[in-house]
Amino acid sequence: MLVKRALDKGAIFRDNIKVEDIKILEGQVKILLNNGETHKAYIAIGADGVNSVTAKKTGLLKNRRHLGVCILKETMLDEEVLDEFYTEKRSCYIYPGIDGVTGYAWVFPKKNRLNMGLIHYRRNNKTDKKNLKSIFLSLLQKLKDKKLLPPTIDYSNLGGGIVPVWPLEKTYTDRIILCGDAAGIINPLSGEGIYHAIVSANHAADTIIEAFEEKNFSEDFLSKYEKKWFQDLGEEIRVILPSSNIWRRDYEKLISIVKRDPILTELLLDLITSQTSVKNLRWKITKRYILSLLRHHLEH
């Protein structure tokens, strides 16, 4: 659908061809494709995902220190089955800290689908790897045994991938703008980034229209792009990032605190599933966390 809308607006869509290199030159940006073609432009947008060639080649991405690695399965189910297992209200389940995973597993029932997954936040090096597939499958089996998952769920067609966990230090440079995952613009706790990609792309489009009007493609001029997306999405990222840092740094303590406090669990669930706005949850979670932390210290 998005491709069709772009085509209707005059875009040229080149499938199965990759950008291999990008060079910022005097008065232009030069793009080299893997079929040998080169293209010149006044400006380029890097919307090429978490492993963005644009971000790497322009020096905006040196090294992502942390990544979220996830594995998931989504399957269609009869609504009656979902009603029976998860009620008509569709109760969600979150399982933090499964088998040493720094992250959580989830079971999110939808109207006629069930989405199950596991996300592991890890440093971007080899020391922190886990066999997520076997951890995930053994969890699904345990949930089935406890009748928390319908017995008909099979283990085929698992999906998975990598999500960035925080934005790049800078999401623009001379003649370049980065959007979505390429810029690391994402909800750092839930790993959701479709909305963020669309919002940042809108701001990129507005900024580029202004850049053409002013005939100014400099880093200084394009810095307004970052101000725009940050105004829309920065508040959420700023609130969540410190908590996701605590999540990674002091994981076991956090889990033991959260597990004992159903109210805090409920608030975090709202945050992860985006049920309530981050602004509304910010102080509620902070206050509740401090209270639970004090209780934890008194008990230990």
Ligand X SMILES: Cc1cc2nc3c(=O)[nH]c(=O)nc-3n(C[C@H](O)[C@H](O)[C@H](O)COP(=O)(O)OP(=O)(O)OC[C@H]3O[C@@H](n4cnc5c(N)ncnc54)[C@H](O)[C@@H]3O)c2cc1C
**Contact positions vs ligand X (CB under 6 A):** 18-19, 47-49, 53, 70, 72, 159-161, 163, 179-182, 186, 191-195, 197
Are 224 and 218 within 8 A, CB to CB? Answer: no
Considering the complex, what minimum distance in angstroms separates the CB of residue 193 from ligand X?
2
Which CB atom, from 60 or from 186, has the smaller least distance to ligand X?
A: 186
Amino acid identity, residue 278? V
Please list, in sequence order, all residues whose beta carbon lies within 8 angstroms of the beta carbon of residue 46, skipping any fewer than 6 positions away. Answer: 22, 52, 53, 54, 55, 58, 60, 176, 177, 178, 179, 182, 183
Q: Which two tokens stand for residue 130?
A: 């886990």
Rounded to a whole number of angstroms, the minimum distance from the CB of residue 224 to ligand X is: 20
CB-nearer residue toward ligand X: 155 or 283: 155
Which C-beta is closer to ligand X: that of 34 or that of 218? 34
Phi, psi at residue 111, to the nearest 5°? -60, -55
Give me 227's structure tokens: 């101000």
Written as one letter, the residue type at 228 is K
Pull the structure tokens for residue 4.
């069709």
Nearest distance from C-beta of residue 238 to ligand X, angstroms: 18
Considering beta carbons, is residue 118 or 149 the nearer one to ligand X? Answer: 118
CB of 248 to ligand X, least distance (A): 18
